[in-house]
Amino acid sequence: MPVEHVLQAVHQHTTTAEPVSMFHDYVAGRHRYPYASQAFITRARWILESARANLCPRVVGNFTDRVTLQTWEGAQADEAVELTTRRGLGKVLNLAVGESWTTGDGFVLAWPNRAGTMTPWFHRADQVAYDTDPEDPEAFAWVAKVWVSGRYGRVNVYYDTVVERWATTDPVRHDQASAPNWPDKATAYQPATDDDGPSITYASVSRPAGVPWVHLPLGAAEQGGRGVSILSDVIPLQDALNHALVSSIVNVEQYAAPLRALLNHQPRVMIDPRTGEATEEAIRYDETRNRLLGIKGAGPLTQLDPPSSKNILDVMEAYGSWMARVVGVPASDIVPELGNIPSGASLRTLVSSRTAKVRDYTQDISPQVARLATLLGVPDVWPVWEDPTPQDDTERLDAAIKRQ
C-alpha cells in the first residue's frame, strides 16, 4: 500500500479545491469582492451581495446546451441507448459535461450499486486526483477520491485490480464551517477500518481491465492533463461588472438625501477663553445627522442633483458583449437585444468559434465516453453528438435547391 500516492492525491486536492470552489461559486452567484476593502465589505455587505448581474451561468450554458448525445453507433448501439436512458448514463454525462465546462474537468466512476449492477457515478473536479501511466498518457496509473467524512479525511486510491482505502488518524475538520486541514505526513494516514476493510479487489466485478474512471477535460494542454474552465477569462469581467453596479448604487445612496451647498457662508470668529486664541467656526459634516456643507463664496442656496442610474443597462450590455467576445459567442446570446438577433448564415459565421470549441470538445471526450460505456458493460459502441449549429429552414431550403 504505497502511502505516497495518498500524499500526492491530497496535494492535488488542496491545490485544485480553491479554484474549483471559486468557479462553482460564481455560477451559483456567490461572487467574490476583490475590488472592495474589508471595511466596505463589513459596512455594506448587503449591497455587494445584491448588486450583481450574474452572467456566468449563461456563458457556461451557451456551450453545454450544445453538447448533446444524440445516439450511439456500433455493434451494441441499442444496448447503449438503453444504458443512457434507463440506467442514468445520460444524466451523469450532463453533470460531467457541465462540470467540465465550469471547472475544466469532469470525472465519472464506474462502480456496482447495491444490486451489483455497474453504475456511473459523477464526481466534482475537486474530489478527484490522479496520475497518468508513464507508458500511456491517455491511461490512468491510479485515481484517488478525496473527501471528508464527518471530521476525518478519507482517500480511496483506485488501481487496475484493487481500490485501497485510507483515513486520517486525526480530524481534518473541527466543525462544519471550517475548511479541512489536510496533513502532509505519511504517518497521518492509516488504512481504513470500517465494514468494507482497507481494500477491495475487483475479482467479483465483471469489468474490463484498467482503472474504473474516465476523465472529461476541456481544452487540456497535454495528453492526460487537466482542463481549463471556460470561466477563466470571464470572472475578471464579472467582477468588473459587479463593481460598476455597486459603484452606481453607492453613489445614488450617498446623494439620495438632499445635499446642499450653503454659499456665502461667513463663519464666526470666536475667542477661546482658556487660551485667548481666535478660532474659526467650522460646520461639521455628519452623514448620520445632516447633509449640510458650508462653503465660502457668493451665491444662493444650491442643491446638487444625485447621479443618474439610467445608464446601468448600458453598462451591463457592454460587459456582456465583452464576455461574449472573450469566449467566442454572439453578444446576443449573452445579452439578448430584441430585434437585433442574427440568424441563418450570419449567425453561423458569428458562432464559428463556439462551434469549433464544442466540436473539439466532443471529439476529445468521445473515446472516454465510449470507454465508460465499456466499463458499464456495453462494449463496441461510439457516441454520436448532435450538430452544435443545425441549419434553419431557410438554409435547408437553399441547400435543397442547390442539390436539385
Task: Locate the DSSP E strands across 113-253.
Answer: 118-123, 128-133, 136-149, 152-158, 162-168, 189-191, 199-201, 213-217
- Asked whether the CA dihedral 78, 79, 85, 91 is positive or negative, the reply is negative
Please give the full DSSP string across 206-224, using - where no structure is assigned: ---SS-SEEEEESS-SSTT
pLDDT given for residue 269 in this prediction: 80
Distance CA 283, CA 281 (A): 7
User: CA torsion angle for 269, 272, 278, 279 (degrees, to 10)?
Assistant: -60
- The pLDDT score that the predictor gives to residue 301 is 52
pLDDT of res. 344 = 61
Per the DSSP assignment, residues forming a β-bridge with 189 are 168
Under DSSP, is residue 385 helix (H, G, I), strand (E, B) or coil? strand
184: its cell numbers = 502532509
* Cell matching residue 205: 466485478
Q: What is the pLDDT of residues 129-174, one digit of tens each?
A: 999 998 888 899 999 999 998 889 999 999 988 899 999 999 998 8
Backbone angles phi, psi at 162, to 5 degrees: -150, 150
Return the amino acid letter for 276: G
Rounded-to-integer distance, Cα 370 and Cα 378, Å: 9
**pLDDT the model gives residue 259:** 45
152-158 and 136-149: which strand pairing? antiparallel
pLDDT value of residue 142: 95
Q: Give which of 355, 237, 257 is closest to 306, Cα–Cα.
A: 257
C-alpha cell at 172: 481534518
Whether this model's pTM surpasses 0.75: yes
* In 211-340, alpha helices (H): 235-255, 312-327, 331-334
Positions of the chain with pLDDT under 50: 256-263, 290, 292, 338
